[in-house]
Amino acid sequence: MIHAMFWKMVLILGLLGTATLTRGESAPPPTLVPPSPPTEIPGVQVVAPTTANVATPPAPTPTVPNPAPPAIPPAFRPLPGGIVAWDNKTQTATVRPGTPSSSMAFWLTNVHAQPVTVTAVRTSCGCTVPKLPPMPWTLPPGASGQIEVTMNLAGKSGMVIKTVTVTTDQGFDTLYVRTNIEEPPAGVMGQSERLRNLQVATANRQAVFQGDCATCHATPALNKMGAELFHTACGICHEAEHRASMVPDLKNLNKETNADYWRTWITSSADGKLMPAFAIENGGILNAMQIESLVEHLVQTMPSTKGGAPTATVPPPGSH
């Protein structure tokens, strides 16, 4: 009987708990049971997890912003458009042979809203020289100016090209000067060729009878006499259209001359002079008869210009 009453009480309490949950009341919190210790297995060591066994991820690398590229100075960057306008960036001149120099001019205009300052003008060669106002040269908006360039043509031939670099506070521009030196007419010696031959003659005055020079100074004189010989052997230098300044004009020597004077100069010239010795025995090209025919021609056509020419007795050809 007591046993039956016990189970009746358990049933009643269970029904009361169920009724309580159905009315929305919370169930009692579950009872926490501590984990049981790991089961020991013979021969196996169990290691409890710790923070020392966990790999620590590397710290992130700080991001450093790239520095801005340095500004390019005006002297090293091309001049942008819309700042300076040129009448022409290339100037060309054509000159005759022997012209000492050529000059050209460039006009520039400031088309920018702000002043533009020219800080430097450089040329590619010392033979080319610019002429302009003192530096720095500032051009207000709308203002124009001129840069004149002179090219030295000594020793040059053909087409000569040089550059002119104009640097401003906004950038640089490159200009070009071109000089076309015309070829000399056939048979006329150009300036560069004349200079080269002068250098050769200075080292060896007899060189005019050798190599390429012999074509003009030796070959034409073969078997010539008198006036014809003078024009081929002497006139090529002394009566040339572009006679070099160190070659005397025989018609205006302003000194007394006679047969002996001409004979001495033709035969052996003089030490330290550019004129070669023409006598064969002195390394020249003329025999005695040719020399005497020249002496006779010169006495008759090149009179003494100071005090009158003394009477000269010209010996017959072949007597020397």
pLDDT at 314: 39
283 near 269, Cβ under 8 Å? no
pLDDT at 41: 58
Do residues 114 and 208 both lie within one domain? no
Residue 208 lies in a domain: yes
Do residues 169 and 222 both lie within one domain? no
Residue 273 lies in a domain: yes
We report the CATH number of the domain holding residue 229 as 1.10.760
The residue written with tokens 């003078």 in the block is: 230
Do residues 137 and 160 both lie within one domain? yes
Q: What are phi and psi of 296, to 5 degrees?
A: -60, -45
CA distances 248 to 244, 255, 273, Å, are 8, 12, 12
71's tokens: 């500004």
Residue 35 lies in a domain: no
**Nearest to 294, CA basis, from 320, 266, 273, 274:** 266
The residue written with tokens 């002497």 in the block is: 234
Do residues 229 and 162 both lie within one domain? no
121 near 129, Cβ under 8 Å? no
Do residues 168 and 195 both lie within one domain? no
- Where the chain has pLDDT below 70, the residues are 1-56, 64, 67-72, 74-75, 186-203, 212, 214, 241-245, 272, 305-320
Residue 87 lies in a domain: yes
Residue 319 lies in a domain: no
Distance CA 260, CA 265 (A): 9
| Residue range(s) defining the domain that contains residue 85 | 74-181
pLDDT at 256: 86
pLDDT at 282: 87
Do residues 227 and 171 both lie within one domain? no
Do residues 148 and 238 both lie within one domain? no
Question: pTM for the full model?
Answer: 0.44
Distance CA 79, CA 315 (A): 79
233 near 286, Cβ under 8 Å? yes
Q: How many structural domains comprise the chain?
A: 2
Q: 150, 181, 212: which is the final residue of a domain?
A: 181
- Beta-carbon contacts of 167 under 8 Å, excluding residues fewer than 6 positions away, are 74, 75, 118, 119, 120, 121, 122
Do residues 167 and 202 both lie within one domain? no
We report the CATH number of the domain holding residue 94 as 2.60.40.10
Residue 123 lies in a domain: yes
